[in-house]
Amino acid sequence: MKTLLKTLFVAAAVSFATASCTEQGQQNADAAAENAGDAAAAEANNAANATDDALENTGQAIEKTADAAAANTEAAADKAAAETKMAADKAANKMDAAAGDAKAEMNAATRTN
């Protein structure tokens, strides 16, 4: 009977120790899972912040490029307008000169007849 009692006592002690170890292991596993979740959330947050920064930088670069293109287009339009006016003025001067020559020739032709 003593042996049976000792065996039962040892079995109870082993069961208790196993249950305690299992509970401690579960708590450790839960803590590790929570830490891993926190680390993953932090990494995801860092990645999101990096993506936001990259998008902001890209937006600024696009805006700067668009501003430069608009300035270049405006400058080219101003230059083209100035060149067109200059060509129109030259053409007008030539037409005036040709008209003056024609008038002079008409006057000369009228006087001779």
Residue-wise pLDDT for 49-107, tens only, equals 999 999 999 999 999 999 999 999 999 999 999 999 999 999 999 998 888 888 888 88
Q: What angle do CA 7, 27, 16 make, to 5 degrees?
A: 10
Q: Once rounded to an integer, what is the mean pLDDT over residues 32-57?
A: 88
Torsion of CA 47, 52, 56, 62, to 10 degrees: 80
> In whole angstroms, what is the distance from residue 109 CA to residue 113 CA?
6
Would the CA dihedral through 19, 21, 24, 25 be positive or negative? Answer: negative
Using the predicted structure, report yes or no on whether residue 44 has a pLDDT greater than 80.
yes
Cα→Cα distances 92→60, 78, 88, Å: 47, 21, 6
What pLDDT, on a 0 to 100 scale, did the predictor assign at position 108? 81
What pLDDT, on a 0 to 100 scale, did the predictor assign at position 57? 96
